[in-house]
Every structure is written in structure tokens, then in C-alpha cells.
Amino acid sequence: MDIERFYKTLLAPSDDSGADGQDTPDSKGEDAPEEHGNDQKMFPADYVSKLRDENKSYRLKAKELESDLERLKQLESKVKGIFGEEEDDPAKRLAALEEENKMLKLDKVISSASKKHNADPDLIGAYLLHKGIINPDMESDAIEAEIKKAVESNPRLKAELPKAVGDGKPASNGSGKISMNDFIRSAAGR
């Protein structure tokens, strides 16, 4: 703001127009400069243009990053949908998988030893694990010995074979096998 205008505004009367009826700079007439003034430019045009271009490039990069982030979130939700929520710690995940592997090996040993000693694998496995007699860290020979001892001491752990097959009627020929004729007669109700 130059000095002449400053004195005019300072000495001007308090009403909207000056003493001579002309607009003062305070009255925002045509002669009044704008807030920042058009007379002077604060920065050169090429510098302003450069800053605007730089700002534009940052805005474009931000938009690209936002779209990439959205795609990653969608992929993450798909992966979690397929594999489920997993722990972030690989050591914990590895420990859980090793424990699961031990239990599967134990089930396999129990199943094979149960067949050898005519025991119900589900029943004897649950019984011996609950009592703490066997655990996943034991050797297969020790587990087999415990199963044998448990079946001998408790006959209820033996696998029960079905008492009758089919409809439960004995065969007419005495062999225990039902012939086709016997089957047709029984179906016909004779």
C-alpha cells in the first residue's frame, strides 16, 4: 500500500464516502486495491506454476496409493475368507502344526495297535488319554503295550462284533451263509 492511499484512508471521514463524495479505499470502490493487491505479485509465475505441477503430481500419487490400498484390503479379505483368520506369529503357527502332527501320529498308532489287540480304537484312545496313561510323546511300542494291558484288564474296551448280520435269522443250510433262495423266501414273508 503506498503512502498517499494510507494518508487518505487515515484522514478520510468515518462515513462511506470521502469529503468530496468519492469512494475511499475502505469503501471497496473501483479504485480500492484487493486484499493482496494486483500491483505486485508475491511470487513469479513460473515458480507458482512449478509448485502447482508438483502439487498435482503428489495428488495423483496419493490417488494411486489409495486405489492400491483398497485392492490390498480386498485381497486380504479374500485370503482370510479362504484360509481363515491366522495368527501373525509364524512360531506359534508352527508350534500348533507340530502339536497337530503329534496327535495325528498318536491316532495312527492307537488305531493300528487297537486292531492287533481287538480293541475299539476310539474308546481305548479316549480312555487312555483321559487317564494320562499315554501321550503323544511316547514311543509306539510303549503305546501298544499300554493298549494290550488295558484290553486284558478291562474287557469292555474290546471291539464288539455284531451278533447277527442281515435280518438275524440263521441260514437253513446250517453253514451260517444265507442262500439266494432263503433270502427270497424271507423277503416274501414265508
Residue 69 has pLDDT above 80, yes or no: yes
| pTM for this predicted structure | 0.41
Residue 177 has pLDDT above 90, yes or no: no
The confidence band for 94, taking pLDDT boundaries of 50, 70 and 90, is confident
Check residue 65 and give its pLDDT: 93
| Concatenated DSSP letters of the chain | --HHHHHHHHHS-SSSB-TTSPBPGGGT-TTS--SS-SSS-SS-HHHHHHHHHHHHHHHHHHHHHHHHHHHHHHHHHHHHHHH----S-HHHHHHHHHHHHHHHHHHHHHHHHHHHTTB-HHHHHHHHHHHTS--TTS-HHHHHHHHHHHHHH-GGGBPPPPS--TTSPPPTTSSSPPPHHHHHHHHHT-
Q: Give the model confidence (pLDDT) of 120-163 as tens digits.
A: 888 888 889 888 899 888 898 999 999 999 988 988 888 876 55
The better pLDDT of the pair 71, 27 is held by: 71
- Hey, where are the domains in the chain? 41-86, 90-157
The confidence band for 92, taking pLDDT boundaries of 50, 70 and 90, is confident
Check residue 167 and give its pLDDT: 54
